[in-house]
Structure formats: C-alpha cells, structure tokens
Amino acid sequence: MCSVSIGAETVGTDENKSQRQVFLEGIMGSKAVLSIDGKRRLLSSGQKQDGVKVIKIHSDSIEVNIDGKQRRLRMGDHHAVSSPYKQRKSSTVIVSSDARGMYLTVGSINSLPVSFLIDTGATTIAMNSIEAKRLGIDFRMSGQEMMVGTASGNTKAYGVILNKVTLGAITLNNIPAVVIVGRFPVQTLLGMSFLGQLDIQRTGNVMRIKKKY
C-alpha cells in the first residue's frame, strides 16, 4: 500500500530573481514523487536532481534540501525561500505511461490529493460518488442530475463545478466535472474539461502537459 500526499515549496524572489516551484505530488512507499519546475521526478532518500535533494521520507511529508536550504514539504505547505535560481518560461508536467499504456499521475482537487488517469478521450473530469464524498463535494445539493452511459448501462450522475484542480505546477479553477453514482470509474478520469485548456504533446510513451501562453 502506498500513501499519497500533496505539498509545495515556493522558492521566491526579489526584483532580480524568479520564482521556483517544487511540489510534493505523492509519497509511494520509500520514494517521493516531486514536480520540480514542472518536471516530474521520482526520488528516494539521499537522491538529488535539479538542485533538490530528498533527505528523509515520512508517511505524510518529506524533508528536502532546495539549493542549500532545508525545508519540510507536506500537504498545503507554501514556503518562500530566497534563491538565485532562474525559473523556466513554462510549467510542464511530464507523465510516462505504464505497462498497459495508461497515464497515471497524482494531482489534487480542491487541495486534496487525487490519483488521476489521464484520458484525452473523456470530455470532462469524471469520478465516482465515493471519491466525491471524500473530497467534500456535495454533488446532490449543488450538482445537476443527469444520466450517463457506462459499461453496465445508464447510471445516475451529477454535473458539478470543481473550484480548483491541480496537476504538478498547473492549477486551473472552475472546472466542469461529472460525479457518477457508485464505484465507477475506479480511477478519477482527468478529461478534456481540464486538459483542453492546456498544450499536450505525446512522444513515445511520454506525455508533456503545459500551460498555454
């Protein structure tokens, strides 16, 4: 079993310095999934990439050294740290497919961690009602009732608006989604209501997702 948490480290700036973003996307056993200025990295304790070294991994947080400054990343953290690092022009999230050709990654909805299946064939973000309740989405009160087709036939669902959806260093607000009553889909689908606002490039088994400028 793996635990998943979300956090972020903002390496901040004065007039001559740019802002740097280091996100804790997830904790999977003995490894941490980090987004470092839009690049996804999987690091164990003691490993270092792009100026970020993982010192220690806890169940819900990690200790890191960012350009010589030690910080602890946990869900919802935002720290300002002076650094001469120059930020890249765009924020890019890189996701590789698994052995089944599926693009799985970790992000957040309304600041709570979510495991996403990236699905460019889905018109919208879709989740089951159990996941929606975990995320505090009151879909029965605020959503619009509808019927959707699933593998088992037509199923009741609710159209909702998500306040905030985050993938790596990319955050978008007021995103349409569908909550399907029951346990389907098992994995929350990250569909085109979110992805359609971004640039997506696929090379081999690697997908690059970045903001449009």
What is the rounded distance in angstroms from the CA atom of residue 102 to the CA atom of residue 72? 31
Taking the whole predicted model, whether its pTM rises above 0.95 is answered as no
What integer best gives the mean pLDDT of the chain?
81
Q: Contact at 8 Å (CB) between 169 and 55?
A: no
Q: In the chain, what are the domains?
A: 7-88 (2.30.30), 93-211 (2.40.70.10)
pLDDT band at 151 (very low <50, low <70, confident <90, very high): low
Q: Is the pLDDT of residue 89 over 90?
A: no
- The two tokens of residue 189 are 């689908």
Q: Token pair for residue 48?
A: 């270092």
Higher-confidence residue of 111 and 189: namely: 189
